[in-house]
Amino acid sequence: MSYETSSSANEIIFGPFVLAAGKRLLSKDGAAVQLGARALDILIALTSCPNQIISKRDLLAHAWPDATVEEGSLRFHMANLRKALGDGREGARYIATLPGRGYCFVGPISTANGPSAQHGKNPAEITHANLPSRLIRMVGRDNETRSLSTKLIAKRFVTIAGAGGIGKTTIAIALGHDLYESFAGAVYFIDLGALTDPGLVATTIASILGLSVQSDDATSGLIAYLADKRILLILDTCEHVIEASAELASRIYADAPDAHILATSREALRVEGEHVHILKSLACPPDDRQQLPAAISRTFPATQLFVERASSSGAQFNLRDTEAAIIAAICRKLDGVPLAIELAAARVVGLGLERTAALLDNRLALSWPGQRSAPKRHQTLQATLDWSYQLLSPLERKTLNRLAVFVGDFTIEAAMAIVTSPAIDENLVFSLIDSLVAKFMVATAPSGATMRYRLLDTTRAYALSANNDEDEKRELVMRHATYYLGWLEETGTEWPTLRTAAQRTLYLAGLSNVRAALESCFGTSSTAEVGIRLTVAAAPVFLSMSLLTECHRWTERALLCLEFVGSERDRMHLHAASGVSLMFTRGGQDAARVALNRSFAIAEQFGTPLDQLQVLGPLQMFHLRTGAFKTALGYAKHCSNLAGTLDDQVSISLAHSLMGISLHLGGHLDDARIELEAALQPRSRDSHSTIIYLGFDGRILAGAILARNLWLQGFGDQALERLRLTIAEAADKDHPLTLSIALIWAASLLLWTGDLKGADHYIDWLLSRAESHALGPYLAVARGFQGELAIRLGHAEIGVESLQEALEKLHAAPYELLTTPLNIALVQGFAAANRFTEAFSLVDATLRLVESRGDLCYMPELLRMKGNLHLTAPQVRVDKAKLCLQSSLKLSQRQGAYAWELRAGTDLARLYLGRGDTGDALMLLQPLCERVVEGLTTTDVRAATGLLATLQKNNQS
């Protein structure tokens, strides 16, 4: 096999390296890399087939074509090659080892004469994968897994299709483990079997990845996140959500070129890019009139599986020719379906081989009538489940029927809450579940030091259909919902701290049961009351996970039922959660305002001060977002008064934060600093977080606003240090909405300071967060900041266009919190593009708007901008410019906004200098510059001190 057909023609570039295969030269940053001939041959072979597995045998044949050597030589030269490349150091990743298969070049490469040949991005932001444990040994699937590994690497999209119980999930998990290193750990297992709503497919994947879902279109945010990630998504059990799974997989394949998809389903997805692998039954000994010897019979995978599972269950027998024939007959009767074989093999220890075969034959014969329209393998599996169920004791059957209420994994504590009854005490629950596990009716999934359980999908469906007691079904729904209500109340404060995929996986299994319980509760009026209570408990969790669309869905459903059952306090909490979710997903629409106002009215009448405060926070944020800053200040004052009556640290901190933000935007900087610093005071471990009712961490917002406040007050160095600490804390929380909020204010501050490079970094970071997590308003703000940056860099027309588009989207939302500073930037853009009529019109309109709305902190800068427009417009009006600059100066002084004062003073001094009034200019500017103690390298300080030096020089001459 030749590996130089494509690589020798062009230079291949990866990382800092350039490989010229034709010249047999590897260089790094222009300097030759000393590499042995064998290692170079190996590198050429691997880079010629990127993302393809090359077996050890083929590599040996390529590097040593005329000699026979051991694999030890290959390992030796491979180690030298990796050392020369720095593979595995400082995030560099080029060569992956696939145990039992060979090696694969996984680094991103391009050619010197063409576009990128491969997009192996470094998954720097991907958290730990969540693969379930693999089987110690799979029987009869080695060749298939090797073939599927190669196909998945090369084709990117593979579906394992086959009958239920055939082993699709088992092979998918094994492939995930085999390819774990090739994907640098970015392998995610998404169990879709727990879903009942196809609309939650994208949301479930996003939740496993730790993404925020804050709009009705979860798919777009997910696609944006995956667009540059090298990742393997294992979509397990797609058949019951086949349309949604197919559509999403197709979009991921088309729009995320480095994402690989491995799906399992009982039918093909039938979309572009899919490569279907039909997983067949295990091979069985043929039905031959002549009995096969045991030695030959046990070479068939089905027989091997039966013997291994029977032995592991405690059965002991010598596999003579007679026993081998009975096992072969059983395996054929079960069509080689692994699940059916395992169920049958588990019975041998209690029934014996011959009795097992006899019972199996009888039960299957009884089950076939009426099933002819179903696939044959499905008939056999259903018959096996029917047979297995009948072999259970009455208490085991009742236990299995009750466990079927769970969706996905559950704990032993959850099982006891559901199964325990007068006839089955807690001690008996343990032994019954142990017995069901031993009989393979319940599967186990170790999780750390604890054990989790689940019913296979087919077993659960069978058990649900087997329970015909309607009274018991209603009781199970009630028990199930009540248990998860308690679980939510116990774990609710922990949700904002979940950061890794492994942590989320455990909690999301519980959340899947919450969803199932909600569906069941709202399906009948007799359980609607517990459904309402469950929604009240679940809403803060949905908010803390940024599952805002889902939060709105369930709260609205619960509110409909409140006409018949439920309390006013329930109504209060539901309206509040609905309002917050609407505020972030649909902007400042009337529906959000109405919901929040209703919640607060109820809180005032029926709630505690803490209830009122927790609604006031979202109300204040709603009015800030819609630009009603004066109204927001009123809510902040009310919040502060309530917090004074409470002994609750989080509430007190929230009140300080909300008051500080409103005071800052209103131009009361000294008072704002006091409130914001109080909000950031260290406190003991909190019993709750503002994330669960605000949707984000209020402390982070307080820190970001304090940084702006400090800069305006003239404390530039302190402002940047506070900004650094706030961004670090926000990033550490791994909460997309909270980080995005911090990045918005950080970018705006660095634009003020003139640190355009730093601002560009934060804007890019904000864009990636906003795009990946469907944060529409924040994406528009980021685009607006890009426009301002373009204007600062001399690209006025481009910047104006970006700002106008961003502002149009923000007004439509509406999201007015940052439209004033974006308007100021747009005025600058109009002026730079000599569009002075539009500049004057916008600055006047913005001045009127600021006066009416109350974000007066921007007023000095607007007046300064208008003054400069009078000086730079074709028709210069010096007197009007002077009045504007003087007004800006006086207002800055009243607000304590030293940064605005320095800007206005510098511009006014420059005006005086232009008129020959050097003394007046010097008298104005010198005291301002003497007050500067921080931020000496910022643009404004440099401009002021430079002008002062000119004035002093002119004055001396």
DSSP string covering 316-381:
-----HHHHHHHHHHHHHTTT-HHHHHHHHTTHHHH-HHHHHHHHHHHHHHH-TT-TTS-HHHHHH
Give every CB contact of residue 308 below 8 A, 6+ residues apart in sequence: 137, 139
Residue 565 pLDDT grade (very low, low, confident, very high; cuts 50, 70, 90): low
DSSP string over 634-696: HHHHHHHHHHTT---HHHHHHHHHHHHHHHHHTT-HHHHHHHHHHHTS--SPPSS-THHHHSS
Mean pLDDT of all residues in 808-834: 94
Rounded to 5 degrees, what are φ and ψ at 95?
-120, 125
- The amino acid sitting at 235 is L
The pLDDT of residue 128: 46
SS3 87: coil
Q: Is the CB of residue 629 less than 8 Å from the CB of residue 666?
A: yes
Helix (H), strand (E) at residue 434: helix 426-438
The pLDDT of residue 956: 75
Dig out the tokens for 507 from the structure.
């909690």
The pLDDT of residue 456: 75
**Whole-number Å distance between alpha carbons of 718 and 413:** 51
Residues of the chain with CATH 3.40.50.300: 142-278
Residue 132 pLDDT grade (very low, low, confident, very high; cuts 50, 70, 90): confident
Mean pLDDT of all residues in 840-859: 96
pLDDT in tens, 152-190: 998 999 999 887 778 888 899 999 988 888 888 899 999
Higher pLDDT, 703 or 527: 703
Hey, which of 102-111, 586-595, 790-799 has the most confident mean pLDDT? 790-799
Dig out the tokens for 305 from the structure.
């599986």
Between the CA of residue 780 and those of 592, 694, 749, 818, what are the distances in Å? 20, 21, 17, 10
Higher pLDDT, 775 or 282: 282
Helix (H), strand (E) at residue 855: none
The pLDDT of residue 613: 84
Q: Is the CB of residue 646 less than 8 Å from the CB of residue 611?
A: no
Mean pLDDT of all residues in 803-822: 93
Q: Is pLDDT of 862 > 80?
A: yes
The pLDDT of residue 187: 92
Burial class (CB within 10 angstroms; exposed 0-12, middle 13-18, buried 19+) of 683: exposed
Order of strands, edge to edge, in the sheet holding 157-161?
187-191, 231-236, 259-265, 157-161, 275-278
Domain 396-608 has CATH 3.30.460: no
Q: Which residue(s) pair with 213 in the sheet?
A: 547
Mean pLDDT of all residues in 221-241: 90
The DSSP symbol for 768 reads: H
The pLDDT of residue 743: 95
DSSP string over 101-152: TEEEE-S--EETTSSBS------TT-----PPPPPS--SS-HHHHHHHHHHH
Dmax (CA) for the chain in angstroms is: 121
Which CATH number applies to 12-111? Answer: 1.10.10.10
Give every CB contact of residue 103 below 8 A, 6+ residues apart in sequence: 46, 53, 54, 56, 59, 78, 95, 96, 97
Low-confidence winner among 344-348, 598-602, 806-810, 813-817 (lowest mean pLDDT): 344-348
Question: 3-state DSSP helix/strand/coil percent for the chain, to nearest 5?
Answer: 65, 5, 30
Task: Of 243, 253, 196, 197, give the one whose Cα is nearest residue 223.
Answer: 253
Dig out the tokens for 403 from the structure.
């466990």
Q: Is the CB of residue 389 less than 8 Å from the CB of residue 462?
A: yes
**Tokens 């009078």 belong to which residue?**
870
Residue 493 pLDDT grade (very low, low, confident, very high; cuts 50, 70, 90): low
Can you give the length of the chain in residues?
A: 957
pLDDT in tens, 375-408: 333 344 566 577 678 878 999 999 999 999 998 8
pLDDT in tens, 401-453: 999 999 888 989 999 999 998 888 888 998 999 888 877 788 887 766 678 88
Domain 142-278 has CATH 3.40.50.300: yes
Q: Is the CB of residue 331 less than 8 Å from the CB of residue 302?
A: yes
Residues of the chain with CATH 1.10.10.10: 12-111
Q: Is the CB of residue 153 less than 8 Å from the CB of residue 179?
A: yes
Ramachandran sector of residue 502 (left: φ over 0; alpha: ψ -120 to 50; beta: rest) = alpha
The DSSP symbol for 283 reads: P
State yes or no: cis peptide before 422, omega within 30 of 0.
no
Higher pLDDT, 280 or 868: 868
Q: Is pLDDT of 56 > 50?
A: yes
Mean pLDDT of all residues in 24-46: 85
pLDDT in tens, 899-938: 999 999 999 999 999 998 999 999 999 999 999 888 888 8
The pLDDT of residue 210: 79
